[in-house]
């Protein structure tokens, strides 16, 4: 009995402390270091914030570069499928020339569109005719089993602040939860940690839209005994003072879930509404 | 001769490169659009397999650093993934010290112990010290599917390991 306990302690100590020829650090020292970093980050000591911000910006940029092959492959596959389809269509309709011309025009159109979008993105004056709206590109949308968030290419340098609402076209998709100098993290509406005050229906029923980690957030804190009708449009109520009232979010289901107007996995560009927070700062 | 040596060296770095790439890139193993609860953690499988088979391939420092990168990309508090990865590595090293011959079944069983401790630590730290909320159910699904997919990756990595070691034993 005592011998097996000795074996256990020897093997455990060896695993924890031994470095060996190939290992420069012992597991024990690294576990302690990880714990120290964790608690420093959790309790947000002042000196940690700028360091974390620099690390975030750096890692997000590297991540963007590292992810380019994974973005390129679906494009290639999609392009390949299109090519086959076009070829079949050409054979069937015998209108090769017209289709190629059309394709050429499409490319030209896309090139022009791309140039215009690049101009907009490169410019710091990204108001698009509307004041207090900043256009931003989605840098990373790595899907986590636990957190639903995206990284965008605008940070405190562009005036982004924590809490600002983020829109896809006119639809609300989430809010800023972390800002770095050149990038920010957006917490999406379907994340478990998301809570948005909303209103819906002809009577202007008030409620809270709570993310559940799935694809459809749920309505909570509704009037007692209220039965939700299907197909009602849900809007932000603006009761929290952060979101502008009237931003469309989605449509209700009878079970209290809301189908969002904007598909979180399809976001390429988003808009950040800085109006509310700017007014408050003023 | 030099080319073969260089190529072998590059192949040796394969698992390490894969670990870093999975941590930093957008590639994820969460297939929400196909099956809502399907998600698994390939990083844990990579760390466990290589820590038990050939610890010299993945250094402890690299495991720690890959965890930090994963935390930044995923938005977790810094250090939590590192801790989770290091616990898996610790269990793997302990199993390696205690056993002589391992098979897929023993590796599979001990991997369950490793991810149990790893995910329990992850959940405990996140729920008690962080404002981030995650559900126990999501973590359980992730643990379950990681365990289910382990044999598949075990065979792939074992094949890779055979390729790496084949020249050395000759």
Q: Shortest CA distance to B117 belongs to which of B97, B89, B98?
A: B89
Mutate to test the interface with A, among B12, B13, B17, B25 (most CBs of A within 10 A): B25
Q: Is the pLDDT of residue B11 over 70?
A: yes
pLDDT score for B29: 62
Q: Shortest CA distance to A232 belongs to which of A210, A208, A204?
A: A204
CATH architecture for the domain at B14-160: Orthogonal Bundle (1.10)
3-state SS assignment for residue A134 = strand
Which residues 142-181 of A are in CB contact (within 8 Å) with B? 142-147, 149, 178
DSSP string, A150-191: EEES--GGGT--TT-EEEETTEEEEEEEEE-SS-EEEEETTS
Write down the domain spans for chain A. Answer: 48-122, 129-282
Residues 6+ apart with CB under 8 A from A60: A139, A140, A151, A180, A182, A183, B72, B73
Q: Which of A18, A39, A63 is nearest residue B26 as measured by Cβ atoms?
A: A63
- How far from each other are the two terminal CA atoms of chain B, in whole angstroms? 15
Cα→Cα distances B96→A214, B58, B92, Å: 39, 15, 6
- How far from each other are the two terminal CA atoms of chain A, in whole angstroms? 73
Q: Contact B90/A52, CB-based, under 8 Å?
A: no
* CATH top class, domain A129-282: mainly beta
**Would you state the structure tokens that stand for residue B144, as one six-digit string?**
């379950």
Q: Is the pLDDT of residue A199 over 60?
A: yes
Please report residues of A whose CB lies closer than 8 A to that of B82: 30, 34, 37
User: Are residues B79 and A35 in contact, defined by beta-carbon separation less than 8 angstroms?
Assistant: yes
Q: Which of A22, A42, A144 is nearest residue B130 as measured by Cβ atoms?
A: A42
Model confidence pLDDT, tens digit, residues A101-146 = 667 767 766 776 677 676 656 544 444 445 678 888 888 777 676 7
Query: Distance from A186 to chain B by nearest Cα, in Å?
Result: 10
Q: Contact A38/B78, CB-based, under 8 Å?
A: yes
Please report residues of A whose CB lies closer than 8 A to that of B131: 193
The count of other CB atoms within 10 Å of the CB of residue A207 is 24
Q: Respond yes or no on whether ipTM tops 0.95.
A: no
Q: Contact A145/B79, CB-based, under 8 Å?
A: no
pLDDT score for A128: 47
Q: Which of A14, A39, A147 is nearest residue B75 as measured by Cβ atoms?
A: A147
pLDDT score for B86: 92
β partners of residue A137: A269
Query: Distance from B111 to chain A by nearest Cα, in Å?
Result: 16
β partners of residue A179: A184
pLDDT score for A132: 78
If you measure CA to CA, which chain B residue comes closest to A48? B78
If you measure CA to CA, which chain B residue comes closest to A178? B75
Q: Is the pLDDT of residue A153 over 50?
A: yes
Model confidence pLDDT, tens digit, residues A207-247 = 899 888 778 888 888 888 888 888 888 888 877 777 777 88
Q: Cα(A31)–Cα(A252) distance, rounded to whole angstroms?
A: 47
Q: Which of B30, B74, B83 is nearest residue A34 as measured by Cβ atoms?
A: B83
Q: Is the pLDDT of residue A155 over 70?
A: yes
Q: Cα(A34)–Cα(B90) distance, rounded to whole angstroms?
A: 14
Q: Shortest CA distance to A255 belongs to which of A221, A228, A215, A222?
A: A228
Say what the alpha-carbon torsion angle A107, A108, A110, A115 is, to the nearest 10 degrees: 140
Write down the domain spans for chain B. Answer: 14-160
User: Are residues A246 and A235 in contact, defined by beta-carbon separation less than 8 angstroms?
Assistant: yes
pLDDT score for B170: 43
For chain B, the residue count is: 170
The count of other CB atoms within 10 Å of the CB of residue A202 is 7
- Residue A124 has φ and ψ, to the nearest 5°, of -80, -20
Q: Is the pLDDT of residue B37 over 90?
A: no
Q: Shortest CA distance to B74 belongs to which of B114, B50, B43?
A: B43
Please report residues of B whose CB lies closer than 8 A to that of A62: 24
Residues 6+ apart with CB under 8 A from A135: A120, A121, A126, A128, A269, A270, A271
User: Are residues B138 and B32 in contact, defined by beta-carbon separation less than 8 angstroms?
Assistant: no
């Amino acid at each position: 009995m005592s011998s097996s306990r000795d074996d256990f302690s020897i093997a455990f100590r060896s695993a924890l402390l031994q470095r060996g020829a190939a290992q420069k650090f012992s597991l024990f020292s690294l576990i302690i270091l990880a714990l120290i970093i964790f608690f420093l980050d959790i309790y947000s000591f002042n000196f940690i914030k700028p360091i974390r911000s620099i690390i975030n910006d750096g890692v997000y940029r590297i991540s963007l570069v590292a992810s380019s092959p994974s973005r390129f492959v679906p494009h290639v596959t999609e392009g390949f499928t299109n090519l086959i389809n076009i070829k079949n269509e050409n054979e069937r309709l015998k209108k090769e020339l017209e289709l190629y011309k059309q394709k050429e025009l499409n490319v030209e159109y896309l090139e022009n569109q791309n140039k215009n979008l690049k101009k907009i993105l490169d410019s710091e004056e990204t108001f698009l005719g509307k004041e207090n709206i900043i256009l931003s590109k989605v840098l990373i949308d790595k899907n986590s089993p636990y957190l639903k968030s995206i990284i965008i290419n605008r940070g405190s340098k562009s005036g982004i602040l924590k809490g600002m609402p983020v829109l896809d076209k006119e639809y609300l998709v989430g809010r800023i939860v972390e800002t770095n100098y050149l990038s920010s993290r957006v917490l999406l509406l379907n994340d478990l940690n998301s809570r948005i005050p909303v209103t819906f229906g002809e009577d202007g029923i008030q409620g809270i839209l709570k993310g559940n980690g799935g694809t459809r957030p749920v309505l909570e804190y509704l009037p007692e005994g209220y039965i939700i009708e299907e197909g009602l449009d849900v809007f932000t109520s603006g009761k929290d003072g952060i979101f502008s009232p009237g931003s469309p979010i989605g449509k209700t289901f009878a079970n209290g879930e809301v189908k969002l107007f904007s598909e979180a996995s399809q976001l390429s560009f988003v808009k950040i509404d800085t109006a509310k927070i700017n007014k408050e700062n003023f | 001769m030099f080319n073969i040596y260089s190529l072998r060296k590059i192949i040796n770095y394969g698992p390490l490169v894969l670990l870093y790439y999975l941590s930093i890139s957008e590639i994820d193993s969460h297939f929400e659009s196909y099956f809502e609860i399907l998600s698994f953690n390939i990083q844990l499988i990579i760390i466990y397999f290589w820590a038990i088979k050939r610890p010299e391939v993945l250094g402890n420092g690299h495991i720690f650093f890959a965890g930090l990168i994963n935390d930044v990309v995923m938005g977790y508090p810094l250090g939590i993934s590192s801790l989770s990865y290091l616990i898996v590595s610790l269990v793997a090293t302990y199993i390696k010290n205690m056993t002589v011959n391992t098979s897929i079944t023993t590796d599979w069983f001990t991997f369950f112990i490793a991810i149990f401790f790893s995910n329990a630590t992850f959940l405990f730290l996140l729920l008690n010290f962080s404002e981030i909320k995650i559900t126990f159910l999501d973590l359980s699904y992730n643990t379950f599917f990681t365990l289910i997919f382990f044999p598949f990756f075990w065979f792939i990595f074992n094949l890779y390991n055979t390729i790496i070691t084949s020249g050395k034993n000759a």
